[in-house]
Amino acid sequence: MNFSAVYHRITPDMCYSPDGEEVVLNLRTDRDVDAVYLIHEDPFIHELHRQPEWFGDRQAMTLTRELCHQVIWTTRVRPRYKRLMYYFEIVSEGKTYALFENKLVPLAEKDATSKQFFKYAWMNSSDIIAPPSWVGDTIWYQIMPDRFCRHHDAPQDDKFRRWGDLAGSQWNDVYGGTLRGITERLGYLQELGVSGIYMTPIFESPSNHKYNTYDYNKIDPDFGTEDDLRELVRQAHSRGIRVMLDAVFNHCGIGFAPCQDVFRNGKSSPYYDWFFINSDDFARDDYSTADGRFYSFSFWAGMPKLNTNHPEVARYFADLCCRWVREWDIDGIRFDVGDEISHSFLRLVRERVKAVKPEVYLLGEIWMDSLNWLYGDEYDAVMNYPFTGCVNDFWKNPSLTARDFMYAMNYCHALYPEQVNRAMLNFLDTHDTARAAESCGSEDVLLQMIAVLMTMTGSPCLYYGTEIAMKGKRTPYTRACMPWDAVERGDFAAFSYKVRALTALRKAYPACRGNDLVYHFDEQRPRLLSYSKGGSLRVTVNAGAKPCPVPDSGRIIFRNRCENGVLQPEGLAIQVL
């Protein structure tokens, strides 16, 4: 047995309670393991029975996930007294080993030296991470307000470029999209199947993207007013659509009032410690901070980094979040550059904001493994960039097989507890990436990817325009204006109709949203991706170069490039089992 591959620790990815009643236990091993058993009981069971030594029940574990180099064994236990002590017995090549917290030894030697059992001390309900239950049922739609829609009677202004004209576009060009414009398109979003809007920043800033905020208390006048936001939220809620705002607290814009005070008054400013300033000449005019005179987002001097360790900074932004929720009734907050903000700040924000609205969704923008932020006292979930990488890689690299896809997706699902997986924000593209339609090169492939997005565990998000296969590899083309004239002419009707069918399918079949996922492989067709969800739905995607028969599994409820039971290359079929 490969001893170095055996791993378990009491962390939320390997030992957690989804509901306060059960404990889910995961163990990683190499593929050379034949069976695993959990020996478990209450830590004090021997005292209850007046026995000299602790003892436990033996329970078989199930191989639930295959990774590229390891497998994961899982079991569930319902502790009678809310406590659990345990160890593992691992069978490999006819030999049995015992895994304790401090050692892995042959079973016959388990009592020869001191051993430390694993212990889930107590199932405190307040320690169990519990993202809002509504998130897993939500289909999000990301909007850049400047580029989505100008309301019908918006006044003309020379500072706005002609809608859709990207020729020679600059970083600060604005096109005049408004909050009222979004409100006017709520019917379109509802028909698309959207049940959540995620807007990039809407607060006063000189840029079109607004990630360099000047005033966190003022809606950017280009977008509208607080009343416009209230009306957007009110009308969205009336249609069953939630609203999430973007919070840029890692850094601010150079025009943020405390920042301006520091630039004027230096160390005598009461806000000096709100920032990370390392040199007396920090205020000199240079677009880059590579010299280290102060810290900024990346190396952009126009985005000074905020010190969220500072109690006054933490209180200021916690108060701000509470105001957003209390006054505008928003449903979620997405934290930009969410891995650079201090943990202490996030704990304070969570405590304060959840006191105002317990079901508010707190989402972190983190591009990698984010377990350190998902212990239940900071974010509810994060943006699922590993998911995006898994999906994009499979279609970009024709040498990858369906098993490779499974390994990568299982890695994503193994990172966090199942209740967190249901709340992860899954997406194919955002304002920070190339558009999915550009990357995949084909509307049929894009439809395959959207089908995976809509049938995997998590909270799916469409970037505005993905439903009409908008393209763009780099800024500003990835942030182009929504072409409403062409939409209303019906230029994209055939494709968007299929996207609406997929969003409707996700809403209609709970199995799409669940964690029960089983892969099916055809060794003769290595790029035939097929999996079932909840034992009731099967998704089959032909990413290979040759036609193949649709599995004889059940009634087809969605098809593309699929006729007479034959799935063409780039084809897709979804069946009810």
The residues annotated as belonging to the active site are 336, 365
Tell me the C-alpha distance between 249 and 247, whole Å. Answer: 6
Bond prior to 358 in cis (omega within 30° of 0): no
Q: Which DSSP helix (H) or strand (E) runs through 497?
A: helix 493-508
Phi, psi values for residue 387, rounded to 5°: -60, -50
User: Are 492 and 468 spatial neighbours (Cβ–Cβ below 8 Å)?
Assistant: yes
Tokens of 404: 């490779």
* 446 Cβ neighbours under 8 A, 6+ residues apart: 436, 437, 440, 466, 469
Write out 136-163 in H/E/C secondary structure. Answer: HHCCEEEECHHHHCCCCCCCCCCCECCC
Coil vs helix vs strand at 266? helix
Query: Treating both helix axes as pointing N-terminal to C-terminal, what angle do 311-328 and 343-356 enclose, rounded to 10 degrees?
Result: 30
CB 559 within 8 A of CB 552: no
Q: In 257-413, where do the E strands start and end?
A: 332-335, 361-364, 381-382
- 182 with 141: CB under 8 angstroms? no
Strand partners, 460: 426
